[in-house]
Amino acid sequence: MSAMSNVTAIQRCNDFVVKFANVNGSGSASANELFARAIIRMGVTVTPRNIFPSNIQGLPTWYEMRISDAGWRGSRGSCDLMVAMNPQTWDRDIAEIEPGGYLFYDSTKPLPRSKFRDDITVLGVPLTEICNREYSDLRQRQLFKNVMYVGALTALLDMEMAAVEKLISDQYRGKDKLISANFNALKLGYEYAKANLPCPIGLRIEHADSVGDNIFVNGNDACGLGAVYGGATVAAWYPITPSTSVIEAFTSYCRKYRTDPDNGAARYAIVQAEDELASIGMVIGASWNGARAFTATSGPGISLMQEFFGLAYFAEIPAVIFDVQRGGPSTGIPTRTQQSDLLSCAYASHGDTKHVLLFPEDPYECFSLGAQAFDLAERLQTPVFVMLDLDIGMNERLCKPFDWDDQRRYDRGKVMSYEELEAGKDFGRYLDVDGDGIPYRTIPGTHPTRGAFFTRGTSRNAYAKYSEMGEDYVYNMERLRRKFDTAKTLVPTAILREASGPSRFGVIYYGSTSPAMDEAFADLEGRGIHVNTLRVRSFPFGEDVLDFIAGHEYVFVVEQNESAQMRTLLINEGEIDPKRLVRVLHYDGTPITARFIANKIADALDERKVSPIRKQVAS
Amino acid sequence: MINWESNVFPGILGRVCDRPCEPACRRGRVDKEPVAICRLKRIAADLKEDIHGRLPKVPAQKNGKKIACIGAGPASLTVARDLAVLGYQITVFDNGKSAGGMMRSQIPKFRLPDSVIDEECDYIIGLGVETRYGQQIESLKKVLEGGWDAVFVGTGAPRGRDADIPGRQEAAAQIHIGIDWLAKVAFGHLSNISKRVIVLGGGNTAMDCCRSARRLGGEDVKVVVRSGFEEMKASPWEKEEAQHEGIPILNFLVPKEFSHAKGKLIGVVFEKVRAEYDAKGRRSLVPTGEPDVLMECDEVLVAIGQENAFPWIEQDIGVQFDKWGMPVLDKTTLQSTLPKVFFGGDAALGPKNIITAVAQGHDAAISIDQFCKGKNLMERPPPLTNLVSQKMGIHEWSYDNQISEEERKKVPMKALESALKNINVELELGFDPRLAYAEAERCLNCDIETVFTPKICIECDACEDICPTECISFIGNGDEADLRGRLKAPAANLDQTLYVSTELKTGRVMVKDENICLHCGLCAERCPTGAWDMQKFLIQVAHAGAEVRRT
Amino acid sequence: MTYLAKPKLFRPDTPKNALGYTRRDYEGAISTLCAGCGHDSISAAIVQASFDLDIEPHRVAKLSGIGCSSKTTDYFLGNSHGFNSVHGRMPSVLTGAALANRDLIYMGVSGDGDSASIGIGQFAHAMRRGVNMTYIVENNGVYGLTKGQFSATADKGSKSKRGVINNDTPIDLVALALQLGATYVARSFSGDKEQLVPLIKGALRHHGAAFIDVLSPCVTFNNHAGSTKSYDYVREHNEAVNRIDVILPHDPISASYPPGSLRRVVQHDGSILLLRKLGADYDPSDRIEAMNHLHERHALGEIVTGLLYVDESAEDLHRHLNTVEKPLNQLRDAYLCPGSKALDALNASLR
């Protein structure tokens, strides 16, 4: 260990950022997650983020852990403690440490002084040396090195060893051999630190109660569960990061909840298709045939599915698509997060199309909006996109526990039954019978002589007969527009948060920006800057969104993409004067931070030489 | 004019024809009822404009031949018309005051108004035909002495058969022969009848009697027949109309006696019978053994048949008669055993109907023409035929190939209540043009032929696939019985010949069963090479004066 | 094409099947294809096969892609739901539909462009997966709707209507289907319904991926001299390996055949395929022999037709996925939603 020369070491309890710099494929991820969970077990809110490469082995990966008793879950930026386990990224890892911060590293190999910084506290543990001494197996050396640094950090941060041990016991329940081996490695690290390092350092974890009954889960998992609760029976997919684990989760939840207790048969069907075109094709085929079906994909998959989206839109077939967004364009930065598929989903496919989008902010909403998406898709007979992103999808997050009302029944929408057909009810597949733009459909096989129709992507009349007549086409297009208006009344409404004082400025944000915005709002309030915020949860926009914009002089639109896609949608759909919508854009692939948002808004207000209205003094 | 040319009396026949054509109509093979051909003829006649300008011109220069037509009924008038336009001098004799014969005397006015008869008879008379009305011919011998080149006998079947059962003489005042009674009504000699009337007989005359009786004050009018309802000779629609007018038809009742008292009819006693069939399917009516029934009534109309009577034809002039009192004739030429005497209509081969009389008139005219020219009577001109392709575009034909799937249209009628009040008011209003068009659209276009050219067929089977009635098959060749059984839909109607092509490239043949072909043209529309064509077939029935083709 | 609806009038003695339906009840809308198109004959064969098998029309789902052939799904089985999807993607839509309801009969109709060019991937994977379907390719070697370009099944050396010679090696979908694991593979000719109808019937009763490649001349763009997909060329080069009769479990077996000339194949549903051998001793249960025979004969310029391969013990996708007997689209809420109690337990495990 070496001490700092000129800066005071950071002293913080339950409010700091730890970052692990690892090499992927080294088994570090599970050790890092173990550490995060241990902290949660102590009642402290932790928000980890995995920053990983598009690679299986050997490239840099980071695990960033926001520890915040105040409950902030957004990425904060920089770190207070760097666990630097990757020589490849050493220099920039060291540079990222806050002044007064700490560096933890494997001190087995001596490093020149120039490799360190003066303004940080360096904590060295000869992990490799200890491993080599304790383990002969190469793989074991690698794996237990990770557990060993968790042990050392437990000591350094003044955590309870028992909490970590309990977690290991829970995790490897029934595998006693593994438990004791892990205990051993943990202890080696813990004891080395206790004996050789100044434990505890300035960063400490104490028991707290900010976790409450929150659950710790990732968004993809929640989407898979939402699909199970939403009644999906068919899933077709093609593996693509970062969406793959949606289907993996769906698979394992189906095995758990949807296996027939009598004969072990599956009440679901999951097909790994040959590509995204086939995936969405299967979803459309299954939905057309009356099953709830979905796929999960990411940007490139969305691009491939375009033609089918147009078919589903025009032929009016339900479909649910989980788009776990990543950085584009093209292959882009496939393992980083972005909100850059809004336009390609909202207007997916050629011709005049428009689709329903939902924007969950966290795993809780991945579950609830994911389940609701199936109701909306069947009610509206159209594709519905659940627009999460890598940040929510692939990172464990503390969130509200999932809930479900057992009285709730699936809304299968306007499906004409055998009885209705038998009674001679007029069936026009594309006939708007009640003005909401939504026609009745029939499920194949319903009635021997009535209700059969021909589904096609070509123009047709209200009775599904092929037609190239202009008036038939216009009838359909106008009805589809009415249907889209109906959608506005059915999709989740936006959520308004008012500043503590009057404001002429608003902020619109959505999806994974939520935790960073929460924190930025508090930050701005603290600086005396009042802005009202609105979290948009769906497209098409309801009146509430347009009213919000109308009620403010300027509205900042905070997004994680380069081209301000939400702003474009607002301008286009709400016929808003572009000057009134100010871009706040973050698109380097890392999650947006509260600092970034707060600074951008504060700077923008300065640049505009407008001073926000301060609190009015009562006269 | 098409209507007039062979039919001669479209307005009349369009109202009262027995319609032998309708059972033959192929629509009846694929649908419940045939096309209403008869009533379509009527509306065609009703809607025509003045046709005088279109009528054939009588040659100013006569050919010098003189023909006598005895009787002014449909057969005679047809002969007169066909021959007048060829330059013959025609004289029509009739005992009545005007032309028309039984059409005028026996058919009630509510079915056939005089105006229609007048008009259509006048077209013929107007061709320079001399008429001698009110002249009862007493002797054919005398007529023959008149120097005629030929004599045509078209005197009909003027005598109604009587019911010779006990009580007939005693109650004679209340018992009438149907056709005589109808004639009295027709000419206005009779204008009422008692309230309770029984009509004996099941033919169309019986129907005319009962319906006339209803209109002349008969309130309780019933028809009683010996046979079963189905076997009655009356046309189904006539029976239907009688029933519609509140006239019950009672069957399997054989009249046994006219019951009477003090010279006045009380009623008719009937024996109940049932039908029994022997091994050959011949029917006999056997008493059921139940007690006889007395049906009370005030008057009886006997309409149990008509007979021919030729008391005015002397036995010794060369016209021979058979054992039933009918003239011995050549069935084709209608020539009697006295060469210059020809017969036609009911007088020739027994009572039939008007359209048969017209047809015989045409035939007799041909014979007379040949006879007068000194030619062989058996050499008869063939009908004129012609085939013309109907193709206009890829799927457009110069005929109406969209066949209506609607049911036969009902002819609008006057309200029954007012119709029954006046015997001279025509009951049927006839089709209006809209209805007529809709009915005509039901026609399966027998005049359009499917013509197949084997050598350009590529055997794509498109015609076989599209045919709505599955009447086209491509199969290996065989004899007719074999082919009939192997078709896509077996051809069961042996009266309808098969259309079989020569052998095609694959060794198969195209076989078409004409029986239920709709002539919709879809086979030709689907044919990529034009191997199928829809061609209009025109037939003009032979008439006197036409060229006799040498074969 | 024709634009008038086919008259509904028909003969009173029109044959009816066990369900009381006439052949006409299995027809669809009037075809808009060119007069003489082979595809219309295939539609007629499908009508005949469905009629013969007493299929309830509403229990059939017919799916297709884009192209002349794909339009035909509108022209048969008018009381069945139909789906004209996107170009080359019918197999995935059909697969999805089949997943949703295992009880319906799935008929996929496609063309050589739809299946061998743009859709070859989906074609291949649907065969691999053993989707329970009858997949018919109406193969005419050209793009009809875009006016006569070669398709991927056009033979090398064949001449287009404009005189262009095709230099690319053709794709034989039958060979592909055999290699990819289809369990019922046949080839036929639109101009030979005697062969085609029983092949379709056998396929409809097959429980697995059934594929029939039907050569179907394009009268407008590919029926000239120099074409290898014309009526004349196919008739001259057609070499049938067998003829089949399909006998349903309840049918009496009436026909008699000389011993040794017949082979019985009993399918999963009890239907029997009676195969009458023609010429060489051909064994349709041997996938390898089928592939060899196909390639040998192709080298001789022959078009091999008939039932080339059938696997009596075929399994389908649902079997592989072990799905419940009841169609997935009929499972109601209680069978699908685990409910709040399960969720509470799950929440607890995530703390």
CATH code assigned at A191 = 3.40.920.10
Same fold, B55-158+308-372 and B160-304: yes
Q: How confident is the model at residue C256 (pLDDT cuts 50, 70, 90)?
A: low
Looking at residue A5, its pLDDT comes to: 61
Residue C60 is given by DSSP the state E
- Chain B positions in Cβ-Cβ contact with residue C235 (cut-off 8 Å): 505-506
Q: Using the beta-carbon criterion (under 8 Å), do C83 and A285 form an inter-chain contact?
A: yes
- Determine the average pLDDT of the residues in C143-168: 93
- Residue A468 CB: number of other CB atoms within 10 A? 9
- Determine the average pLDDT of the residues in B486-511: 91
Question: What burial class does residue A57 get, using C-beta atoms within 10 Å of its C-beta: 0-12 exposed, 13-18 middle, 19+ buried?
Answer: exposed
- Greater pLDDT, A177 or A306: A306
- B456 touches C at CB < 8 Å: no
Task: Give the tens place of pLDDT for each residue, B40-95.
Answer: 999 998 888 888 888 888 888 888 899 999 999 999 999 999 999 999 999 999 98
Q: Do A197 and A227 form a contact (C-beta atoms < 8 A)?
A: no
Interatomic CA distance for residues A111 and B266, integer angstroms: 145
Percent of chain B with pLDDT over 90: 54
Phi-psi map region of B71: left, alpha, beta (phi>0 left; psi -120 to 50 alpha): left
Looking at residue B311, its pLDDT comes to: 86
Residue that the structure tokens 């029917």 belong to: B283
Q: Using the beta-carbon criterion (under 8 Å), do C329 and A290 form an inter-chain contact?
A: yes
Q: Is the pLDDT of residue A619 over 80?
A: no
Percent of chain C with pLDDT over 70: 96
Q: Which of C7, C34, C41 faces B468 most closely, judged by CB atoms?
A: C7
Q: Using the beta-carbon criterion (under 8 Å), do C96 and A409 form an inter-chain contact?
A: no
Looking at residue C118, its pLDDT comes to: 96
Shared-domain flag, residues A508 and A455:
no
First to last CA, chain B: 30
- Determine the average pLDDT of the residues in A273-286: 98
Q: Do A454 and A448 form a contact (C-beta atoms < 8 A)?
A: no
A310 Cα to chain C: minimum distance (Å):
10
Q: Picking from B18-32, B260-274, B285-299, C248-262, which range would have the lowest pLDDT averaged per residue?
A: C248-262
Compare all CA atoms of chain C with the CA of A229 and give the residue at the minimum distance: C337
Q: Parallel, antiparallel, or unpaired: how do β-strands B264-277 and B283-287 relate? A: antiparallel
- Determine the average pLDDT of the residues in B446-466: 93
- Determine the average pLDDT of the residues in C90-98: 98
Chains that touch C (3 or more CB pairs under 8 A): A, B
Q: Do B30 and C10 form a contact (C-beta atoms < 8 A)?
A: yes
In chain B, where are the structural domains located?
55-158+308-372, 160-304, 381-401+445-551
- Provide the number of structural domains found in chain A: 4
Shared-domain flag, residues A296 and A331:
yes
Residue A555 lies in a domain: yes
Q: Using the beta-carbon criterion (under 8 Å), do A445 and C58 form an inter-chain contact?
A: yes
What is the value of pTM for the model shown?
Answer: 0.88
C43 Cα to chain B: minimum distance (Å):
9
Looking at residue B489, its pLDDT comes to: 84
Tell which residue, A609, A557, A602, A607, has the closest CA to residue A584: A557
- C132 touches A at CB < 8 Å: no
Q: Using the beta-carbon criterion (under 8 Å), do C92 and A287 form an inter-chain contact?
A: no
Task: Give the tens place of pLDDT for each residue, C198-242.
Answer: 999 999 999 999 999 999 999 999 999 999 999 999 999 999 999
Residues 195-224 of C with CB under 8 A from B: 217, 219-220, 223
- B504 touches C at CB < 8 Å: no
Residue A551 lies in a domain: yes
Residue A536 lies in a domain: yes
Looking at residue B387, its pLDDT comes to: 86
Structure tokens at C9: 């009038």
Range of the domain at A128: 12-204
Structure tokens at A454: 């021909």
Q: Is the pLDDT of residue C252 over 80?
A: no
- Chain C positions in Cβ-Cβ contact with residue A404 (cut-off 8 Å): 337, 339-340, 343
- Determine the average pLDDT of the residues in B218-236: 91
- Residue B386 CB: number of other CB atoms within 10 A? 10
Q: Is the pLDDT of residue A84 over 70?
A: yes
Write the CATH number for A245: 3.40.50.970
C57 Cα to chain B: minimum distance (Å):
19
Interatomic CA distance for residues B181 and B183, integer angstroms: 5
- Residue C117 CB: number of other CB atoms within 10 A? 19
Shared-domain flag, residues A78 and A227:
no
Per the DSSP assignment, residues forming a β-bridge with A320 are A294, A384
Shared-domain flag, residues A484 and A572:
no
- Determine the average pLDDT of the residues in A7-14: 94
- Determine the average pLDDT of the residues in C258-264: 71
Q: Using the beta-carbon criterion (under 8 Å), do B31 and C9 form an inter-chain contact?
A: yes
C193 Cα to chain A: minimum distance (Å):
26
Q: Picking from A513-527, B484-498, C138-152, which range would have the lowest pLDDT averaged per residue?
A: B484-498
Cβ-based neighbours of A85, under 8 Å, separated by 6 or more: A20, A21, A22, A23, A26, A28, A105, A106, A149
Q: Using the beta-carbon criterion (under 8 Å), do A452 and C81 form an inter-chain contact?
A: yes
Phi and psi, residue B59, nearest 5°: -60, 135
Do A and B share at least 3 CB pairs under 8 Å?
A: no
Structural domains of chain C, ranges and CATH numbers in brackets: 23-330 (3.40.50.970)
Shared-domain flag, residues A174 and A261:
no
Interatomic CA distance for residues B320 and A482, integer angstroms: 92
Interatomic CA distance for residues C2 and C34, integer angstroms: 9
- Determine the average pLDDT of the residues in A567-596: 96
Residue A617 lies in a domain: no
Q: What is the rounded radius of gyration, in angstroms, for the C-alpha atoms of chain C?
A: 21
Task: Give the tens place of pLDDT for each residue, A202-213.
Answer: 999 999 999 999
Shared-domain flag, residues A476 and A499:
no
Q: Is the pLDDT of residue A617 over 50?
A: no
- Determine the average pLDDT of the residues in C36-57: 96
Question: What burial class does residue A70 get, using C-beta atoms within 10 Å of its C-beta: 0-12 exposed, 13-18 middle, 19+ buried?
Answer: exposed
Shared-domain flag, residues A361 and A288:
yes
Per the DSSP assignment, residues forming a β-bridge with A62 are A21, A51
Residue A411 lies in a domain: no
Percent of chain C with pLDDT over 90: 81
- Determine the average pLDDT of the residues in C86-111: 98
B23 Cα to chain C: minimum distance (Å):
16
Interatomic CA distance for residues C218 and C182, integer angstroms: 27
Shared-domain flag, residues A227 and A370:
yes
Q: Which of C56, C82, C322 faces A455 most closely, judged by CB atoms?
A: C82
Q: How confident is the model at residue B148 (pLDDT cuts 50, 70, 90)?
A: very high
Looking at residue A210, its pLDDT comes to: 93
Shared-domain flag, residues A371 and A479:
no
- A281 touches C at CB < 8 Å: yes
Residues 63-82 of C with CB under 8 A from A: 63, 73-74, 78-82
Q: Parallel, antiparallel, or unpaired: how do β-strands B306-307 and B253-261 relate? A: unpaired
Work out the mean pLDDT of chain B and round it to a whole number: 90
Residue A51 lies in a domain: yes
Looking at residue A323, its pLDDT comes to: 98
- A402 touches C at CB < 8 Å: yes
Q: Which of A266, A273, A449 faces C323 most closely, judged by CB atoms?
A: A266
Best probe of the C interface among B458, B473, B512, B534, by most C CBs < 10 A, is: B458
Decide yes or no: CATH 3.50.50.60 for domain B55-158+308-372.
yes
Do C and A share at least 3 CB pairs under 8 Å?
A: yes
Q: How many CA atoms lie within 13 A of A11 on its CB side?
A: 2
Compare all CA atoms of chain C with the CA of B473 and give the residue at the minimum distance: C193
- A88 touches C at CB < 8 Å: no
Looking at residue A618, its pLDDT comes to: 46
Shared-domain flag, residues A194 and A250:
no
Q: Is the pLDDT of residue B547 over 80?
A: no
Decide yes or no: CATH 1.10.10.10 for domain B160-304.
no
- Greater pLDDT, B384 or B343: B343
Task: Give the tens place of pLDDT for each residue, A206-247.
Answer: 999 999 999 999 999 999 999 999 999 999 999 999 999 999
Q: How confident is the model at residue B548 (pLDDT cuts 50, 70, 90)?
A: low
Looking at residue C1, its pLDDT comes to: 56
Q: Is the pLDDT of residue B456 over 50?
A: yes
DSSP reduced 3-state for C236 = helix
Task: Give the tens place of pLDDT for each residue, A429-459.
Answer: 999 999 999 999 999 999 999 999 999 999 9
Shared-domain flag, residues A363 and A466:
no
Task: Give the tens place of pLDDT for each residue, B274-294.
Answer: 988 888 888 888 899 899 999
Q: Picking from A465-474, B363-372, C250-259, C302-311, which range would have the lowest pLDDT averaged per residue?
A: C250-259
Residue that the structure tokens 């077209």 belong to: B123
Q: Picking from A203-217, A258-272, A360-374, B29-43, which range would have the lowest pLDDT averaged per residue?
A: B29-43
Cα–Cα distances (Å) from A102 to A20, A76, A93, A189, A193, in that order, read 12, 17, 11, 17, 14
- C322 touches A at CB < 8 Å: yes
DSSP reduced 3-state for B248 = coil
ipTM of the complex, rounded to two decimals: 0.96
Residue A404 lies in a domain: no
Q: Using the beta-carbon criterion (under 8 Å), do C74 and A269 form an inter-chain contact?
A: no
Shared-domain flag, residues A355 and A436:
no
- Chain C positions in Cβ-Cβ contact with residue A444 (cut-off 8 Å): 58, 61, 80-81, 97, 101, 104
Q: How confident is the model at residue A164 (pLDDT cuts 50, 70, 90)?
A: very high
Looking at residue B508, its pLDDT comes to: 94
- C24 touches A at CB < 8 Å: no
Q: How many CA atoms lie within 13 A of B332 on its CB side?
A: 7
C318 Cα to chain A: minimum distance (Å):
8
Which of the listed residues A454, A488, A522 is the one where a domain comes to its end?
A: A488
